[in-house]
Amino acid sequence: MELLDHLALGFATALSWQNLAYAFTGCLLGTLIGVLPGLGPVPTIAMLLPITYALPPTSALIMLASIYYGAQYGGSTTAILVKLPGESSSAVTLIDGHAMATQGRAGPALATAAIASFFAGCVGVLLLAAFAAPLAEMAFKFGPAEYFSLMLLGLVGAVALSSESLDVSLGMIAIGILLGLVGTDVNSGTVRLAFEIPQLMEGIEFTCLAMGLFGVAEIVANLEMQKTTGTTAVAPIASLMPTREDVRRMTPSILRGTALGSALGILPGAGVTISAFSAYTLEKKLSSRSAEMGHGAIEGVAAPEAANNAAAQTNFIPLLTLGVPGSAVMALMLGAMTIHNIQPGPQVMTSHPALFWGLIASMWIGNLILVVLNLPLIGLWVRLLKVPYRLLYPAILVFCCVGVYSIQNSVADVFLVAGFGVAGYLFGKLSISPVPLLLGFVLGPMMETSFRRTLMVARGDFSVFVTRPISLGLLIATALLIVLALAPAIRRKRAVVLAEAQA
């Protein structure tokens, strides 16, 4: 009954005209960036962070969350119709989705993607609502030692589950932690790593880092590759309705993809892309039509679409209940919460119940909005693909510069964005993901604070980390992840799974 009362509060908050408008705006933007190749939820949310300063906290988070899971829907449209993955998690959908389109079955493929996405999204939100309260209650038993161990587990998990090499991920996390330490130390008043530059004495603004590494770097990479959104013509879609046989075949795939995506979405570092790849690989092994996979099998559309949308919802569980981001988007969401002076973690449920449950309720509403948006507007999305990229990037760059300047009215922040943009571009050239750097930047200062508080309470006794049961359990889990990450057999198996999914 308590859960129903919480959900009633959430729907009352989410169904206000203001929050409905921001949910619709976020879903529309998310679908748009999912459709347009070269964009994505991470750079878009990074570029929109300055706007959230002027919005109420609940409305801002509802809009940003809608952009995130809306991009998972939109990415499948272009993947199926024109063989362009608008979003990275849709790269596996295009294998069978586009094959179905070339066979004259684009309508059923799109309908399958929408049905799988809607069902998995609703299940993911249900899991978020069900597990939120118990996890938050458990988190109240956490002290500084437990939070340090939990954040350490989050960083190690991001490395262990990443497709990057172990040494590269560790190096990027170390760089992120160092960048997070730039500025004046709160406890001692010592200026650290500022190199006598006055503008760095207050630290590096989170928005500058995120917007540069993801937004500006993505624009530069697209220009270098001379990407345009013009594509070949798409055959008219006769019908969207799947046949009874399609429904019979897609149902077990949707259920398997939803279960796998829901589980992987909770894990730090796994994310929607690995969920989609893993679901496709699982279907290859378990489906009765595995021989058809890659040649227009409807299971190859249903499973990854269910997995990535379920993971997009359960990604919020560790952020909202424990205050630990498990992916780049969740790190940006954490940044948006801190912008509004909201401390992420279990206290959000008690100190901001309308925000917490309103955000969860808005996800159900957003999933319904996305079904209405995606199928009737397919023709519009395809026409948008013909807009040349050279007309888009100047407006995006101006938006970035104005947005970051407006945060602190600082020209130095604009130069920082440019510098991080160059760094992000170089990382792309070296095929290095900046996501571990962003996680290190966010979690590093939080880990330092928890570590210092623990030792102050324990009077310098390091054994406190292993004498407290929850902290010890988290450290053991961290050690197991390190062993798994270093085990040659496990690393080879992970590489094979990713290679099979991308083949």
- Structure confidence by residue, pLDDT tens digits, 91-106: 678 778 878 888 878 7
Closest CA to 58 of 8, 104, 114, 10: 10
For residue 98, which of 115, 110, 116 has the smallest C-alpha distance?
110
Q: How far apart are CA 93 and CA 91, in angstroms?
A: 6
Nearest to residue 357, comparing CAs of 48, 95, 29, 61?
Answer: 61
pLDDT on residue 499: 53
Question: What are 406-455's pLDDT values in tens digits?
Answer: 667 778 888 888 888 889 889 888 888 787 887 788 778 878 888 888 88
- At 192 the three-state DSSP class reads strand
Cα distance between residue 221 and residue 423, in whole Å: 12
Cβ contact 300:252 at 8 Å: no
The 3-state DSSP class for residue 4 equals helix
Please answer whether residues 207 and 50 qualify as being in contact, where contact means their C-beta atoms are separated by less than 8 angstroms.
yes
User: Three-state SS for 50?
Assistant: helix
- Better-scored residue on pLDDT, 9 or 85: 9
Q: Is the pLDDT of residue 501 over 60?
A: no
Q: What is the pLDDT of residue 285?
A: 76
Of residues 260 and 278, the one with the higher pLDDT is 260
CA distance 182 to 400: 23
Range 137-164 average pLDDT: 74
Q: ∠ at Cα 15 (13, 20), nearest 5°?
A: 110
pLDDT category at 29 given cuts 50, 70, 90 is: confident
pLDDT of residue 152: 84
**pLDDT score, position 413:** 82
Radius of gyration of the chain (CA): 22
Strands (E), 305-440: none
What span, in angstroms and rounded, lies between the C-alpha atoms of 141 and 316? 20
Residue 102 contacts by C-beta under 8 Å, 6 or more apart in sequence? Answer: 296
Please list, in sequence order, all residues whose beta carbon lies within 8 angstroms of the beta carbon of residue 115, skipping any fewer than 6 positions away: 242, 250, 254, 302
Please give the average per-residue pLDDT across 62-87, as a whole number. Answer: 75
**One-letter amino acid identity for 178?**
L
Structural domain boundaries of the chain? 2-502
Using pLDDT thresholds of 50, 70 and 90, give the confidence band for residue 270. low
Q: What gap in Å lies between CA 39 and CA 37, rounded to an integer? A: 6
What are the two backbone dihedrals, phi and then psi, of residue 67, each rounded to the nearest 5 degrees? -60, -40
| Residue 397 CA: distances (Å) to CA of 39, 68, 400, 417 | 13, 21, 5, 11
Is there a contact between 46 and 2 (Cβ–Cβ < 8 Å)?
no
Q: How far apart are CA 87 and CA 73, in angstroms?
A: 9
Q: Is-contact 149 475, C-beta < 8 A? A: yes
The amino acid that residue 322 corresponds to is L
Q: Using CB atoms within 10 Å of the CB of residue 238, give its burial: 0 to 12 exposed, 13 to 18 middle, 19+ buried.
A: exposed
214 within 8 A of 434, measured Cβ to Cβ: yes
**Confidence at residue 229, expressed as pLDDT on a 0 to 100 scale:** 44
- pLDDT of 493 higher than 60: no
- The torsion defined by the Cα of 421, 425, 428 and 429, in degrees rounded to 10, comes to -160
Give tens-digit pLDDT for 169-204: 788 888 988 888 888 876 777 888 877 788 788 788
**For residues 277 and 498, is the Cβ–Cβ distance under 8 A?**
yes
Q: How many CB atoms lie within 10 A of CB 356?
A: 26
Q: Specify the higher pLDDT residue, 85 or 444.
A: 444
- The span from the CA of 503 to the CA of 496, in Å, is 10
Q: Evaluate if residue 487 carries a pLDDT over 50.
A: yes
What six digits make up the tokens of 209? 């880092």
pLDDT score at 433: 76
Q: How far apart are CA 413 and CA 216, in angstroms?
A: 13
Query: Which residues 6+ apart lie within 8 Å of 57 measured at CB?
Result: 337, 340, 342, 352, 355
